[in-house]
Amino acid sequence: MNLDTDAARVNASVTLPVSRDAGAVTDIEPVDHAAPAHADASARTEAPPVSLGTQAAGQSSPHESARAHVAGSATYVDDIREARGTLHAAPILSSVAHGRLLGVDYAAALAMPGVRDVVLAVDIPGDGRFGNFAHDEPVFATGTVQHVGQVIGLVVADTVMQARRAARQVVCRIEALPAILTTQQAMQAHSQVLPPVFVRRGDAAAALKSAPHRLQGTLEVGGQEHFYLEGQVAYVLPQEQNQWLVYSSTQHPGEVQHWVAHALGIANHAVRVECRRMGGGFGGKETQAGHLGVWAAVAANKLQCPVKLRLDRDDDFLITGKRHPFSYDYQAGFDDSGRLRGLKLNMMVNCGFSADLSGPVADRAIFHVDNAYFLQDVEIASYRCKTHTQSHTAFRGFGGPQGMLITETILGDIARQLGLDPLDVRRRNLYSDDLLDAPVRAEAAALDRAEPVPAPRRNLTHYGMQVEGNILAPLLARLEATANYRQRREAIARWNQTSPVIRRGIAITPVKFGISFTATLFNQAGALVHVYLDGSVQVNHGGTEMGQGLHTKVAQIVADAFGVPLDAVLSTASDTSKIPNAAATAASAGTDLNASAAQVAARAVRGNLAQFVAGLDGCGVGAVRFAGGAVSSPSATRSFAEVIKLAYANRIQLWSDGFYRTPKIHYDKTTLTGRPFYYFAYGAACSEVAIDRLTGESRVLKVDILHDVGCSINPAIDIGQIEGGFIQGMGWLTTEQLVWNERGELTTHAPSTYKIPATGDVPGHFRVDLWPEPNPEETVFRSKAVGEPPLMLAISVFEALRDAIASATPANQPVKLTAPATPENVLRALGLNGFRD
């Protein structure tokens, strides 16, 4: 499975091989159970077939670059033909986690063949710090270094390999200082990149005190490397009159533009950034791509020639940030049915050495601590810890996975302590329209700022947003039935009673994920639509394509606006000279924002054409129809191309811009209350696993997913996103372990030591179904976002692993499993040898 372009599925059944990895659990098959009526023997997911109808949206059309991907003709930044005189840069890296930078000796590097120059902080013509909101990260290290792999400067040479070899000959004199490498050390030293944040509702202390049962514990969750197939790269070319063209593999061309202008000390309009496509992003190219753009631009400015900077995989690992590792400690109170009564939670976020996006990541973790569950009396503390590691950054889910995981862990342990089915405990805690169990406290009432609620119900989040369009209960009920959860759970219990080595587990976990940027200002988008004289259409928007199918979906929406075939519409490269100040393609909002803006633009042109045709044919504008490549009125039918030529001859405008801003959202950053999200996307997954009690190895045997995408614009692409997101989440929680040693060196910095899931890790039974209801909010095509929510469905794998471990550990006790659930961590959770005395 190509995790970088997991949306780029073409119209065929998805064929996923049964895992045949070596190991003690290799040949274990799922427990036999009665198959649901819709499942075949192997339960493959099938992409819906292509419709022969005229509507483009709602059909499983191929990804707009699918043929080019397969043929190898899709152009990425490193494939762009290099201009004459292009030089290549390579980074000079710190080998010390924390220390005083006393000097840089680059004489040996300059003497090497092909080397043209060395670029250091003194060569920056503008601001020596990146243009991010915290303004706390130097372009090149000066005075101090703050992590192994921090960039001190660049070597520029004629070829890539000459630059890389020379960079390794640069000697940096660094006096080592004590390094903070863990959140525990950071908390003791009061080391933070941003102040802590506290959110409270009700009286958690009183609720804990009065609860019939209590549970307390800790959890450690590791980070995750983005491992995009295309590494970080930027290519900067000087233009006339101190203008600059930047080709960047970036999710946020506008930010690269602003950062480059900031570093060069010039106006934004003098920098143009273009991105046709990325070979994967996953959040790792939201801010981090800006670093590459700035470094290459500073070098190009000094040498006054084009400069390309492409990191090799090892350097990419060492330089760029990861998903934020989290540490937690908690106290939970609950009743005999497993319903939470009170929760006190501390989240320690490992942010690395600078703020980057750690503030909003940590905030979103707070927003998603509830996941699908009502928290009546809750107290959350979020500490943004500074450590001497890479500055951690955005990653698919953006803090949401870390917020959800802790609550799912708590609910799983509550079920074990009470001897209840974990699914029943989860159901007991779901958001609903039921009345509160007790009179609402004043603090909870104050959170509802829209209008008073006479009878307080279990549908208000801990940040004051009402949960609307809630389909959690029926969605879980349907998945429970179609996955045959109850029968399989009984069969697994029988298996575990007779199997001394291989133990199995099963879990269903839900997802409720908020869609919108929590920074309200980013919830806007622009687009341009041009119609040419032959009837072909070009659309440009502020979003970026990273394999997720955004350009395809936008083209489908525009095609339907004009009633033309999809192949009549071309989506072009993201370009800051066309759409200025665009938000990052992130927060799962790419289609919601950019397709909506493109639709506005297309409808404006269509309105011009309809008014023109109505005048020609003497009818009302509303009587003019666009469908099947033709434009019809009550008296005439003409081809779309014919109407375009007639309109041009009559000087009718055939292009337009479009603008969209997300409605209804508001958010108070100081209190973390309001309505930060336009709507919620829902889903659930049922996962079955097996573990080996001797080796700690594990295997995912079977996965059934039911996910809510509203009215899908492209079902094949959406299913690809769900599959890819789930597998990526599974990797985060099982195999992808980041290890820093006592010197702060990342020791897992290559595929040999850092293990992303491979095809053999995909379960033999992997079924995805789409929830068949439209989005109740007025999104484009009534669709829902699909980029991030599926990743959190993989929490079901972690909970299934804990269920399997519980069968081999003392009853009614919490399962202390560190994520990722590597064989070592599974063995530790089992008590090292995995056997009871």
Helix axes 422-429, 400-418, angle to 10 degrees: 120
- Is residue 802 classed as helix, strand or coil in its secondary structure? helix
Residue type, 197: V
Strands 537-541 and 524-531: antiparallel
User: Cα 517 to the chain's mean position, in Å?
Assistant: 12
Query: CA-CA distance, 29 to 802, in Å (whole number)?
Result: 19
List phi, psi (to 5°) of 493.
Answer: -60, -40
Helix (H) or strand (E) holding 648: helix 640-649
- Please count the other Cβ atoms lying within 10 Å of the Cβ belonging to residue 575: 19
Question: What are the tokens at 77?
Answer: 């930044």
Beta bridge partners of 766: 44, 703
Angle at CA 753, nearest 5°, toward 749 and 754? Answer: 70
Residue with tokens 């042109």: 605
Residue with tokens 């009984």: 490
Instruction: Render the burial of 391-409: b for 16+ CB within 10 Å, e for the rest.
Output: bbbbbbbbbbbbbbbbbbb
- Please count the other Cβ atoms lying within 10 Å of the Cβ belonging to residue 192: 17
Query: CA-CA distance, 65 to 550, in Å (whole number)?
Result: 11
Residue type, 116: R
Cβ-contact 354, 385 below 8 angstroms = no
Query: CA-CA distance, 426 to 424, in Å (whole number)?
Result: 5
Q: List helix spans (H) across 383-505.
A: 400-418, 422-429, 442-447, 472-482, 485-498
Burial class from Cβ neighbours inside 10 Å (0-12, 13-18, 19+) for residue 329 reads middle
Question: What are the tokens at 53?
Answer: 């109808």
Nearest to 333 by CA among 422, 211, 512: 211
Query: CA-CA distance, 830 to 835, in Å (whole number)?
Result: 7
Q: What is the dihedral of CA 172, 173, 178, 183, to 10 degrees?
A: -10
Q: What is the dihedral of CA 281, 287, 293, 299, to 10 degrees?
A: -130
Nearest to 354 by CA among 390, 398, 382: 390
Spot the catalytic one: 723, 788, 799, 824. Answer: 788
Query: CA-CA distance, 454 to 433, in Å (whole number)?
Result: 13
Residue type, 582: A
Nearest to 313 by CA among 751, 610, 747, 746: 751
For the question of residue 642 being annotated catalytic, the response is: no
Query: CA-CA distance, 481 to 464, in Å (whole number)?
Result: 33
Nearest to 788 by CA among 218, 216, 402, 310: 402
Nearest to 649 by CA among 677, 683, 612: 612
* Entry field: residues in the chain: 837
Query: CA-CA distance, 92 to 540, in Å (whole number)?
Result: 38
**Residues recognised as catalytic:** 788
